[in-house]
Amino acid sequence: MAVFICPICSLPLFRRAESGGSMMGSFYCDNAHCFDISSKGAVNLLGRRGHGDSREMLRSRRAFLEKGYYLPLAKALAAATTENKAELLDAGCGEGYYSKYIDSASGERFPLSLVDVSADAAEMAASRWRPMERMKRIFCAAASVNALPFAENSFSAVLSVFAPLAAAEFSRVLLPGGLLIRVTPAARHLWGLKVAVYETPYENDETRPPMPGFALLKTERVEYQLTLSEPEDIRALFDMTPYSYKTSRQDEKKLAALESLTTEAGFEISYYRRL
């Protein structure tokens, strides 16, 4: 099972339960650095609340995803990870939708760790599992993907969905031969939304960055038409994306006027093997 390491001194972190059998407790190292587990089941290894997605974005994302709009992507990821029977790290987990789906599809048997730079995201993700599951095999932490709080060679697979790329860190925590699964938006992902709101929409850049330490195995595309017939779902989709804080008031009025929306959903899944 993967081992947390102290973000201050890099020694292993051990879990200590509170007296009376509480499901909270803390993580500590032999240098007496201690990190409490929140009442929602996540440990903050950042020493602050972090940045990342806001609570409002996370709530919008949960509301949208729970209606199954991105279920084809979740199914593809579950198939890829359950085939590998991996000890999985979700690096940049958001509110935990994909990890929870993967865990359920695999029969809730394998260890799973989730990290996000947003403490709110880590706590929302942790809340998807029962306290006893979090004690035994689910570990959620507020941490940066650029400084993952795990020992070297800890995981069979790393999942990165719309998250910052940290190839060197992913390589460090993966076992030799381990699998990196990276999801990025296809060129015309949410094109219908962009056309409805913006005067000059642009396609997403599909250029793959260099991946030293990895070999690209294959790519897979998941593409389909998505129809939203409820204004609150359109708003949730918009609010869960970076568009929500980059859009002018004039363009937001166009969004508010939409009663339905049909748009492309497109994802590229890249599979890499750690060398």
Q: Residue 21: pLDDT above 60?
A: no
pLDDT at 242 (0 to 100):
81
Average pLDDT, the chain: 92
Reported as a pLDDT band with limits 50, 70 and 90, residue 84 is low
Mean pLDDT of 71-85: 88
pLDDT, one tens digit per residue, over 119-129 is 999 999 999 99
Q: Which residues of 135-146 are buried (b: 16+ CB within 10 A; e: fewer)?
A: bebbbbbbbbbe
pLDDT, one tens digit per residue, over 27-65 is 999 999 999 999 899 999 997 766 788 899 999 999 999
Query: Which carries the bigger pLDDT value, residue 261 or residue 252?
Result: 261
Q: Residue 23: pLDDT above 80?
A: no
CA distances from 82 to 75, 177, 274 (A): 10, 16, 18
> Rounded to two decimals, what is the model's pTM?
0.94
Query: Which carries the bigger pLDDT value, residue 88 or residue 50?
Result: 88
Cα–Cα distance between 160 and 167 in angstroms, integer? 10
- Contact by Cβ (8 Å): 157, 84: yes
Q: Which residue shows structure tokens 């250029």?
A: 207
Boundaries of every domain in the chain: 14-274
Say which CATH class 14-274 falls into.
alpha beta
pLDDT, one tens digit per residue, over 110-149 is 899 999 999 999 999 999 999 888 888 999 999 999 999 9
pLDDT at 20 (0 to 100):
47
Question: 153: number of CA atoms within 13 Å, CB side?
Answer: 4
Of 162, 160, 142, 149, whose CA–CA distance to 214 is shortest? 160
Reported as a pLDDT band with limits 50, 70 and 90, residue 224 is very high
pLDDT at 226 (0 to 100):
95
